[in-house]
Amino acid sequence: MISKKTQYGLKALTYLAQQEKGIPVLIADISNKKSIPLKFLESILLDLRKAGFLESKKGKGGGYFFAIPPTKIKVAAIIRLLDGPIALVPCASLNFYKKCDDCDEKTCGLNHLMKEVRDASIKILEDKTVADLAYNY
């Protein structure tokens, strides 16, 4: 299950993708239009800016805008940034792997199943971009 932080982050990015390209959007506008608490949104957008997905401009006419096109931003990358692992158990994670203390992965049926679930999820999430969320659904 993705967190509220990730849900809000994807909603904010979707909203930005639907706005005029290159024109900064105020945080307050995103917050109001997408019903995202302002302080929480500020933190999320800062994380997205630090990761290089967004840029910001201060002052009059300022706000947030994409640093890279939304067609190039994979949903999987946003989930990993804001939530961490996509895998449901740590021993099945590609980027956040951690061995379970109480099992042998070679014979663990749960590990094998969760790797299949991870691979199917990643395939879908890597195939979809922020632009897909904004325009195709």
**Model confidence at 20, in pLDDT bands (50, 70, 90)?**
confident
Together in a domain, 25 and 50: yes
Together in a domain, 77 and 62:
no
**Higher local confidence (pLDDT), 60 or 50:** 50
Q: Domain range for residue 16?
A: 4-66
Residue 57 sits in the same domain as residue 79: no
Distance CA 46, CA 48 (A): 5
Number of domains comprising the chain: 2
Looking at 66, 92, 120, the residue that finishes a domain is 66
Is the domain of 80 the same as that of 56?
no
Digit-coded pLDDT (tens) for 115-129? 899 999 999 999 999
Q: What is the pTM of this model?
A: 0.87
- Paired with 74 in beta bridges are 129
Phi first, then psi: what are they for 64, rounded to 5°? -105, 150
Q: What pLDDT, on the 0 to 100 scale, is given for residue 28? A: 95
pLDDT digits (tens, 9 = 90+) for 81-134: 999 888 888 888 877 888 887 778 778 888 889 889 999 999 999 999 999 999
8 Å CB contact between 133 and 10: yes
Domain boundary among the residues 66, 83, 109 is at 66
State the CATH number of the domain containing residue 16. Answer: 1.10.10.10
Q: Give residue-wise pLDDT tens across range 58-80.
A: 888 889 999 999 999 999 999 99
Residues 61 and 79 grouped into a single domain: no
Looking at residue 64, its amino acid is Y
Question: Do residue 56 and residue 78 come from a single domain?
Answer: no
Domain end among 33, 66, 99 = 66
Strand 54-57 with 63-66, pairing: antiparallel
